Structure 1
């Protein structure tokens, strides 16, 4: 399959045969090669694409008033992300999306894609599952920050995202856990001794 059809090849097993207009849109997806540290989306910009991360690692993060980064999520090979809410599509975003390692991302303009799949039930079901998973993740993280220790959060990370441990730098994992990288190093040393 030609490189421009890789997104179509990725979506078909999950969604079944796509409507002709959606298949045509997939074939028009553009590959973007990101260097480590290169931004895919900057705070203040409008999110206008569905992205399929063919290979690499991305992080979504916020900057606080002092310019300190706080990681919200990570995406690895095969992830697909898009502006799933109305506000994300219509308003400038308040976060950044950046490559943690050299990455290849396929970009598909959201307006054309959403029109092509507007009445395609498998896509609607995928969007529903994605929204439900995002809500569950947000609720679980909120509970973890309120009720669990940093060590408990790290142990849960090991179970829920073992792939992150191999690919995401410790300082970024520490930020995601809501602790400093020094605190995370201490937790890891203590657990390794025990």
Structure 2
């Protein structure tokens, strides 16, 4: 039987331990509508998610209820609570579908047990953690030392797929500017 999640993880990691493969076979996809929450502030993040297709955003709400985007995930992304605090404490952010999405959840505790001694998963976790740290440092640098235009140019170079899929106002929030300011920057860079 063809199973998209098992196929994807086997392609990514090689043959899975039997217990991990069984978790994949038992998984049922969630079909999310645009704007539907996958996780909400105060909830507990208890799953690894494979985003088969669609777009998700991870965002915070400030004291005034304004959203600030932290990250975006597109087709094929694997997302999980990578730190102990994310697994053990209520989260302070939301995860929402930006467009219709198909997400495969795996119970995190069972997945972690079944892959504890699985070297390909440990290597992937290490690469993802290193990438997250690098992204965090680059984002910090961008906000402290780059202009809004320079941040947009960096976004355009690093995430061209975002430009095609993520709404302008969401990109502006990620850049720390208004959508009006982003429109001006884009017009200035692409006259005519």
TM-score, with length taken from structure 1: 0.97
Please give the alpha-carbon distance, in whole angstroms, between the structure 1 residues aligned to 2:158 and 2:122. 26
> Which runs of 5 or more residues in structure 1 are unaligned?
none
1:91 maps onto 2:104 in alignment: no
Cα offset for 1:193? 1.7
Find the partner of 1:68 among 66, 77, 97: 66
CA RMSD of aligned residues (A): 0.9
How far residue 13 of structure 1 moved from its aligned partner, in angstroms, is 1.7
Are positions 1:122 and 2:125 aligned together? no
Separation in structure 2 between the aligned mates of residue 33 and residue 103 of structure 1, nearest angstrom: 6
Moved over 6 A (4+): none
TM-score, normalised to structure 2, is 0.98
Q: CA offset at residue 29 of structure 1?
A: 1.3
Query: How much does 1:6 deviate?
Result: 1.2
SS at match of 1:106: strand
SS of the equivalent of 1:98 reads strand
- Consecutive unaligned residues in structure 2, runs of 5 or more: none
- String of CA shifts for 1:129-166, please: whole Å, max 9, x gaps: 00000000000000000010000010111110000000
Q: Among 131, 151, 154, which residue is 1:153 paired with?
A: 151
Is the counterpart of residue 185 in structure 1 residue 183 in structure 2? Answer: yes
Could you say which residue in structure 1 is the equivalent of 2:130? 132
Q: How far apart are residue 74 of structure 1 and its match?
A: 0.3
